[in-house]
Amino acid sequence: MEVTFGEYIKQRRSELGYPLRKVASHIDIDQSTLGKVEKNERSLSVEHFENLCEILQTDKKTLLNYHYSSKIIEELKEYPEYKEVLNIVNEQLAYQIQKQESFKFLQDWREKEFSNPNATIKIGTMFSGIGAIEYAFERLNLKTEIQFASDIDNFAKQSYFANYKIKEENWYNDVCNIDGNKYKGKLDILVGGSPCQSFSMVGKRKGFDDTRGTLFYEFARVVKESQPNVFIFENVKGLLNHDNGNTFETIKATFDELGYKYFYQVLNAKNFGIPQHRERIFVVGFKDNSIDFQFPEGITLEHKMQDFLEDYTDSKYYLKEKGVKFVTSSKNRAKRYTQINGEIALCQKANQQFNWHGDFVFEEEIESKFNEFVFDVNEVEEKYYLSEKTKDYVLSSGTKTFKTSVKTDLEVARPLLQSMHKMHRSGVDNYVTHSGRIRKLTPKECLRLMGFRDDFKQVVSDTQMYRQAGNSIVVDVLIALLKQMDITKLASK
């Protein structure tokens, strides 16, 4: 294996006689990005490997071998004792694989029964939002007593109070005002995650340099003072590599000082029954240091995002022409800002529905069988149809010097271009012979994709509900964690 990952891609592409744009188009990335990958100036996400194997006519194992070997070489190329490092890595990987194999024989978390199902779990939450852990307990039919909850957002408080039983004196607008000593010996589980804007790969990533970053220490302080039997700290995946890993090392050092035995792992909602690609790191800490916790194994995803959609949606959720052009642009699709009719939802964000980011649904327009009514919507949709002059242009094969294949209604769409509003020829842009509308997800659908059922009461505006859903923890992931650890065993006597 004398060539790098990028060189291997270029080599296979050249052997097949494919131009750079053909391969880039097939794996749905920019041509310039693929060029940088071939020059080893940029990495390629593993999610593109299936399509890359297909276009390059190679197997995935070969691609992965080049991919991972190139990463290791990049790290060790200037270290003279690399052989010793590789020996250590080989030993550790062998141990980890053996450990993983042994855990496969453990009982599936879905089949586990709670040892003490009649227990009443005393819970406290920080940065509570709409109460994901509280709702997880409700779905598990376990009794709880909310010792305290907190959130600086008054709209979140409105949603929380509408859905859970809590006294006003047990709510804190500012986590800094929580006196953990007041709850010492009265807390079975503490759950929270400091605002993800501080660590998210989408934000400025200031972390501890940002004032919000210090809110993590408020969480640690409450753990130290209240001494819960178990805590769950959730945050964005970017926390792991922020500031070259220094931020997370600081967090681990803080947990070490607390005397808790903790475990951490990145979990993806799509591996726990929810069709949303949402990766979050979970740190689970136990006061009892004798507990050896193993994170729950992922399960096969049985539902698509379409299974979570409402049967009827109000017309206000449909995009008008400007929104349609934005969400279908190649720039936003390539950068994964938007997705249409995806089987697994993109990671929800608090502001996604206001800047036309996130998931959208394309619905074919249903015409009356006898055409008895003419709705105003048909008049609105008419502007999307091509005039005869425009149709003649887009269906032509090209000019003397530039020819393209003429085809509409493709099963697999061509890459959507940012300039698609200019209506290029049908060999470049996508055209269909039916009419339809694109709409954004409704607040109820966003809640469903976070694990909340339809009994969750919406008492705030759609604007606030979108924010709250995007800021929440996925309930189904919390359910898996609670079942895996058997939270009822950790209930106070």
The upper half-sphere exposure of residue 9, i.e. CA atoms within 13 Å in the direction of its Cβ, equals: 32
Q: For 345, which DSSP code?
A: B
CA 165 to chain centre: 30
CA 344 to chain centre: 9
Query: Which amino acid, 196?
Result: C
| Residues ≥6 apart with Cβ < 8 Å to 133 | 123, 125, 189, 191, 232, 473, 478
Using DSSP, state whether 147 is helix, strand or coil: strand
CA distance 301 to 403: 43
CA distance 373 to 394: 32
Q: For 420, which DSSP code?
A: G
347 is catalytic: no
CA distance 473 to 233: 11
| Residues ≥6 apart with Cβ < 8 Å to 274 | 449, 450, 451, 474, 476, 477
Going from the C-alpha of 291 to that of each of 125, 287, 296, 367, 388, the distances in angstroms are: 23, 9, 15, 61, 72
| Residues ≥6 apart with Cβ < 8 Å to 412 | none
Contact 231, 187 (CB under 8 A): no
Torsion of CA 364, 370, 376, 379, to 10 degrees: 70
CA distance 250 to 247: 5
Kindly report the number of other CB atoms within 10 A of residue 304's CB atom.
14
Kindly report the number of other CB atoms within 10 A of residue 385's CB atom.
9
User: Strand ranges (DSSP E) for 155-258?
Assistant: 171-172, 189-192, 230-236
CA distance 72 to 90: 12
Which of 176, 196, 347, 446 does the annotation list as catalytic? Answer: 196
**Which single residue is written with the structure tokens 């036309």?**
356
Q: Tokens for 457?
A: 């009461």
Helix (H) or strand (E) holding 263: strand 261-268
Using DSSP, state whether 489 is helix, strand or coil: helix
Kindly report the number of other CB atoms within 10 A of residue 295's CB atom.
18
List, by residue number, the catalytic residues. Answer: 196
